[in-house]
Structure 1
Amino acid sequence: MRQMAIVGSGPAGFYAAEAALKVFADGVRIDVIDRLPTPYGLIRAGVAPDHQSIKAVSRRYEAVARDPRVEFLGNLEVGRDIPIDALLANYDDVILAVGASVDRRLDIPGDDLEGVIGSGAFVGWYNGHPDFAGLSPRLDTATVCVIGNGNVAIDCARILAKTRDELAASDISGEALEALARSAVRDIHLLGRRGPYQASFTLKEIGELGELERATPVVKPNDLPPAEGDQALETGQRRVVEVLRRFAATGPDSAKPVRIHLDFFHRPIRILGTSRAEGLELALTRVDGNGRATDTGETRIIPCGLVIAAIGYRTAPIPGVPFDAERGRFANVDGRIAEGLWCVGWAMRGPSGTIGTNRPDGQAVVERIRAEGRAPAGKPGGRGLEALAAARGLAVARFRHWEAIDAAEVAAARPGAPREKIADLARLRSFID
């Protein structure tokens, strides 16, 4: 029997498990390991709470978790609780599917001031992730700057701009909902160093900014290139630019008190303030013929009390696993790190692609494992891991414990919401019997 450990229970992990069940059929037993007592990773704590249709993919992962060949083992952190060598000693194959959970820093003066946070932290806070339950972002400011031109940046801006009623049917944390309802934020600047042609958000996300109850998008007509250039764009990007042109032509809705400024051609160079963020200094840019942003020599200062950096993520290193610090991911060749040690998803390729991109990734890595032709070595698998956990006094969360957490969250939901997430790690662990 092939013993396989998959570290990480988000999309990359479950798609890899699904692929292994098909490729190795009845000849495999899979343990899906997570450092939290709750499964589903990015789906639970990364996808925007007002995008419930995307979160529905967790039902597919649940079907995998309920397969008799699969066991969920939560509340175990590989690298801290369980060394990577111990996993390799107990399993024929170890697949790291831990994603990229570390915010990339701005690396500009002032990025360590209070009021400067990464988008991963902000998203984790409003999604009820235990790591960020005590974040308390500074929402007592009239102006927020969100640095980045991707979907995560738009998610942050949209959540900041929505009313309590607009968020009522979401699974946003109750703490975040109350804090946002008291927010003083009235101007949100989405800042990108390049232009509309290079923006990486998608049609759905940019379109939603025009459908908000109290917020209106602001696009400067002069930021848009001549319309004849649109025909050279790929279809998706062309449709995004069409929406931006519509926003620019219509102008902001003066009846709405919150404005979302899509400020292209801005590069952050310094955060102003002494003990906390008070403003953001930016270099104005232009895009050269190769699509690169170059400074014009002009600068601009936006007074603000909160800066959210949505500029990407890095995988958290695991002791004993080769790491590519420049790319912020595990050092690998097509998912292979070393004999018996693999990675998939963002831990393999960096933070790019959609949730669905992880499915072919997982399939490809499992096929490479099969192609290597290594026969099962009679390793103990989960029995060995559980014995090690018991010897170290570690409480292991199983899928039944998650089901109890799930039931408690659903029961505690406010009217119209799917659940009220438990963000306190100690309380989550209290469900482990």
Structure 2
Amino acid sequence: MNIAIIGSGPSAFYAAQSFSNNEKLKVDIIEKFFAPYGLVRYGVAPDHQKTKNIIKLFNRVLEKDNVNFFGNINVPKDISLDFLSENYDAVLIATGASDDKLLNIEGENIEGVYGSAEFVGWYNDNPEYSNLEPNLNSKNVIIIGNGNVALDCARILAKTNEELYGSDISKKNLKLLSKAKIDNIYVIGRRGPKEAKFTISELREFKEINDFSIKLKYPRELLKKFIDDETIDTRVKKNLEVFDEFYDNEKKSKEIVFDFFKSPIEIIGNQKVEGIKLKDQNGDTHNIQTNLIIKAIGYKATSIGNLKMDETNNYLFNIEGHINNNIFTTGWASSPSVGVIGTNKGRALNAVNKILSLVSHSKKNSTEKLKEKMKNNKIVFITKDDWNTLDKLEEDNAMKHFVREKFNDINIALDVLKRN
């Protein structure tokens, strides 16, 4: 059986791993970027290298003879979904959720307002966003959202160069961050600390940041009441206990401010952002001057070809992973984008089992037909051997104290491959 997997993030690799355990199954992973790993490479924060260790597992999958990698192929721009469906026994869409959800407020689209997909993509050298120029001279930075991505953005902005040792942040971005003139980072939540979706490990990291003190705009006595409530969820209680420790941290000239029960109602500015208007629970409003706003309010999937989205417009319409005919989906492309990397392992295995139960082997020479199509379309694709070369060069080119220097441009990557 020949299977095409579109995307090369965690869900794609979990599925490929399961398929590849059967030597009679052949898997072609098709990725729009020249590098694999999706969310792990371009979404996980550069200072979270332990989380990125899952790449070692993915590399073992790539080493298998019945798994191929085709990078720099955009579906459906370079090759149609119909072509894959016609020439493979099954097509599994595992493209994740890479579009930012919207606030739907006035001023959202002016310069200086970024979705977290864009901002995270910038500091992670995603080829689509590596050329962004966020204004790091803004005295105040506003981050909207109360999940781990909001914490990632705040932490990367607050850390010193030395605190970023051991990460894979690029030389260019490290230099820009070191010159930042940020005094205050506001993490804005629509609800309270009890409802925040932070994980305790991410919250605890803020205790180690040297240049910024942590401030909670929330009554400590009320927080303690929640902590003392025996009926409260254990995860929530542990988060609140970390919040409580922040009240006693050393005061510094620069602050990370957690501001709860505030809703953004307008972004102020003409061509560039100049401020944001927030409304509290009582309906009172106040403005904060800023030249940089990051929206970390969640992600949604991008439609492929003529495939329908679900009624929320956040992921591909499917019934238990099945879209239509021999086309399937898994991961954040198939369901709400919540959870951690390992969350999607079960979904990927379910998709594999569904494919194996519904699809029979009838297509032949699928890989050869794909290569021929790419040749005819004059699309230069990246093989897994090519990627191994680039991967080693990224590690070899790393700055002292850092783990790699990512390539972020396909033309540079192709030029490097010609010379190596």
- Normalised by the length of structure 2, the TM-score is 0.96
CA contact (8 A) 1:127 1:172 kept: yes
1:117-145 Cα distance to aligned partner (Å, 9 max, x none):
11111111111111111101011111000
CA distance in 1, matches of 2:245, 2:71: 48
CA deviation after TM superposition for structure 1 residue 412, in Å: 1.1
2:339 equivalent to 1:343:
no
2:386 equivalent to 1:401:
yes
CA distance in 2, matches of 1:106, 1:21: 41
CA deviation after TM superposition for structure 1 residue 208, in Å: 0.8
CA contact (8 A) 2:20 2:64 kept: no
Worse-matched range after superposition: 233-242 or 221-230 = 221-230
CA contact (8 A) 1:169 1:416 kept: yes
CA deviation after TM superposition for structure 1 residue 13, in Å: 0.4
2:273 equivalent to 1:277:
yes
CA deviation after TM superposition for structure 1 residue 275, in Å: 2.0
1:173-225 Cα distance to aligned partner (Å, 9 max, x none):
22111111000101000000000111001001111111111112111342744
Q: How does 1:11-410 map to 2 (within 5 A)?
A: 11-22=10-21, 25-222=22-219, 224-225=222-223, 226-227=225-226, 230-248=229-247, 250=248, 252-254=249-251, 256-285=252-281, 296-324=282-310, 326-372=312-358, 374-410=359-395
CA deviation after TM superposition for structure 1 residue 430, in Å: 2.7
Structure 1 residue runs of 4 or more that deviate by more than 6 Å after TM superposition: none
CA contact (8 A) 1:101 1:313 kept: yes
CA distance in 2, matches of 1:96, 1:87: 11
Aligned CA distance change for structure 1 residues 387 and 193 (closer, same or farther; 3 Å): same
The runs of 5 or more residues in structure 2 that have no matched partner are none
CA contact (8 A) 1:7 1:96 kept: yes
CA contact (8 A) 1:321 1:330 kept: yes
CA contact (8 A) 1:401 1:431 kept: no
Aligned CA distance change for structure 1 residues 99 and 230 (closer, same or farther; 3 Å): farther
CA distance in 2, matches of 1:383, 1:352: 37
SS in 2 for 1:6: strand
The runs of 5 or more residues in structure 1 that have no matched partner are 286-295
Pairwise CA RMSD:
1.4
CA distance in 2, matches of 1:119, 1:412: 28
Worse-matched range after superposition: 224-233 or 423-432 = 224-233
Matched AA of 1:120:
A
CA distance in 2, matches of 1:326, 1:239: 32
CA distance in 2, matches of 1:214, 1:246: 17
CA contact (8 A) 1:115 1:305 kept: yes
CA distance in 1, matches of 2:278, 2:229: 27
CA distance in 1, matches of 2:42, 2:170: 10
2:417 equivalent to 1:420:
no
CA deviation after TM superposition for structure 1 residue 431, in Å: 4.4
